[in-house]
A and B are shown apart, each in its own frame.
Chain A
């Protein structure tokens, strides 16, 4: 069974940093592109970042480019999102999503990020 478990969310002040992690199990992690998708409170889904197999390509939404960095550790079956210079509008639930040819076929339960002074 595919499992994706996010961690690392919490309360951070504007301008602060946070590192999210996603622990994957139940599938061969190294063979999949992985995504981060977020959802602000009461709002819709927003794609944040994608990292391909072997980190061959990485993409970011314009809203986070230059502030967020996605990475992966295939040896540890883990996905990461380093978030710097956080803003109030970055608050929300961050989902780790397995990518099957561009499609989000498995989602984690999410981790909540709160940005407030």
Chain B
């Protein structure tokens, strides 16, 4: 099975900072990669799919890139409401494995 890893596991940044999270697949998954945001006590929310397509309604400060085995989620200007845990997930065939998550908070 393809394994998904994320780095860092957590980060702390200032409001307005550019934040980048990396997700790696143990084998190539083309661009079958989604990113989800989970705020404390809330249901996970789809942010990006196809590695780089922004889900409707998601602020444009979020962006995704990558293909194959390495992907990134970027928040161009971190906002207080972006405090959350971010997960990548591959959907290139079962099992549809999630990464372990990256916790983002404000410095």
Write the residues of chain A forming the contact surface with B, with a CB cutoff of 8 angstroms: 35, 37, 44-47, 50, 59, 61-62, 95, 101-105, 107-110
B residues in contact with A45, CB < 8 Å: 36, 38, 44, 87, 89, 98, 101
The answer on a CB contact under 8 Å between B91 and A102 is yes
Cβ of B34 under 8 Å from chain A: yes
Known contacts A45-B36, A45-B38; is-contact A105 B97 (Cβ 8 Å)? no
Known contacts A95-B43, A108-B43, A110-B43; is-contact A102 B96 (Cβ 8 Å)? yes
| Chain B residues with a Cβ closer than 8 Å to the other chain, count | 24
Which one of A50, A101, A103 has the greatest number of beta carbons of chain B within 10 Å? A103
Q: Offer 22 A-B interface pairs, CB within 8 angstroms, sorted by A.
A: A44-B98, A44-B99, A44-B101, A45-B44, A45-B87, A45-B98, A47-B95, A47-B97, A47-B98, A59-B94, A59-B95, A61-B95, A95-B44, A102-B34, A102-B96, A103-B34, A104-B36, A104-B46, A105-B55, A107-B45, A109-B43, A110-B43
Q: Mark contacts of B81-107 with chain A using CB atoms, 8 A cut-off: 1 yes-contact digit, 0 otherwise.
A: 000010101011011111111000000
Known contacts A47-B98, A59-B94; is-contact A105 B87 (Cβ 8 Å)? no
A residues in contact with B89, CB < 8 Å: 45, 47, 104
The answer on a CB contact under 8 Å between A50 and B96 is yes
Partner of B34, one of A50, A62, A104, A108: A104
B residues in contact with A101, CB < 8 Å: 91
Known contacts A44-B101, A45-B38, A102-B91; is-contact A107 B96 (Cβ 8 Å)? no
B residues in contact with A103, CB < 8 Å: 34, 46, 49, 91
